[in-house]
Amino acid sequence: MGDKGTIISIKSQIVEVEFYDAPPNIHDLYVLEADEQVVLEVYSSASDRSVYCLALTLTTKLHRGAVVLNTKSSLSIPVGKQVLGRVMNLFGEPIDGGTGFDPNIKYKIFKETEESANIIVPHEVLETGIKSLDFFTPVLRGGKIGLFGGGGVGKTVLLTEIIHNIVSRETKNYVSVFTGIGERSREGQELYEALNQTKVLSSVTLIFGEMSKNPSVRFRTAYAGIALAEYFRDREQNNVLFFVDNMYRFAQAGYEIGTLLSTIPSEGGYQPTLATEIAELHERLYSTRSATITTFETVYVPSDDITDPGVQSVLPFLDSRVVLSRQIYQEGRLPAIDTLASFSNALNPEIVGENHYRTYLESQKILKEAVNLERIASLIGESELSQENQIIYKRARLIRNYMTQRFATTSIDISETNTYVSLQETINDVQSILKGLYDKIEPQKLMYISTLKDLKN
């Protein structure tokens, strides 16, 4: 062990340590001299002779005057093929009931970003098999997509379906990393069972810092997940599918730490370092010439207010934004994606092709016009609209209902359920609706069909 220090104050998860000799480095780990299982991480400077530390373990054994030892090392986690098909926590301990990992194969969770010369810009679409997602907000292979929504509108269900659809198909030179930040243990258990049932668990590694954990653990779990993705990208040369649930909980954990440190809050009461912390994470999630990282992250929207600073801090780093609507959810149209509020940088002819792009523009035009017509129809009735407006109104309803979809991961037996719909099929079906080939069909009949071929005459 290295230099010693003494605890001079404890405030929940924030511990102030006075060091004896040379000051420790940021991210150095202190352990309690009396019990080396008690771990503190150096977080920031407190004074000329002391530092603030994050308590990563229980603080029940800490007290003023207790001696701590500087390990002069930072947090590291097990990596490599040994973690595939496994579930671990921030400390690299298995939480799936399996055997321990090789302590000699580890990777530090903090790392400097790569030289920009090796970073590539995503330009290829990655299909998810989810109609509304692929058509209105296509995902870039090697890009970042955010799923935004309040509580109970289907963010985690949508993310789980994306994992199910992509992981089972993108098996060649692909691994997946799932990072659970501040979510329920039950959801992690359900995801683990779903991946096991679909026989794709062997190519996925999961790391959790669930909501019952202290803010320091939840905060650092995000960095640990990114470290896993970095290792597979840089060392193993694997393409990575990186899933985060929930990025807002990371911001929230930082907010809790900032409050304990008594820092002066910024907009919305959040910690002044929020933008920097969000940027640090996303700047590590890039793609190189050798391998890609495609990121899917859910973002909880408190009180359904997407203007919340914690939510807005994530937006600048995303290539695609998917907004889930509570109103659409209550109408029973799932996934509850608000296509008019969602957006993707991939929607240009050079990436998605002229055919998809033009079909998208035409459908969005009809959906926007239908919003205004809906207000009129609710007052005077649909039959009082002009003939032209009636056609627009009905086609918009046909498109909206067509975009509903059953999910394999919410079915009783997901191993025998195939709800995947190719992008080309979706484009062809939307074009058929826009051409008026289904004007005589009741919109209700399009609810939860896979393609228009499923319509019963």
Burial of 164 (0-12, 13-18, 19+ CB in 10 A): buried
Q: 284 near 230, Cβ under 8 Å?
A: yes
Active-site residue flag, 144: no
DSSP string, 66-108: -EEEE-S---EEE-SGGGTT-EE-TTS-B-SS-PPPPTTSEEE
> How many angstroms separate the CA atoms of 300 and 279, rounded?
18
* 183 is annotated as an active-site residue: yes
Query: Rounded to 5, what percent of the chain is helix, strand, coil?
Result: 40, 20, 40
Catalytic one of 64, 81, 184, 199: 184
Residue among 183, 187, 210, 297 flagged as catalytic: 183
Task: Report the distance separating Cα 452 and Cα 457, nearest Å.
Answer: 11
Is 456 known to be catalytic?
Answer: no
Of 107, 73, 70, which Cα lies nearest the Cα of 92?
107
DSSP 129: S
Q: Which entry of 106, 141, 144, 155 is annotated as an active-site residue?
A: 155
CA 259 – CA 270 distance, rounded (Å) = 9
Q: What is the dihedral of CA 195, 200, 202, 207, to 10 degrees?
A: -40
The two structure tokens encoding residue 438: 């289904």
How many C-beta atoms surround the C-beta of residue 440 within 10 A?
7
Catalytic residue list: 155, 183-184
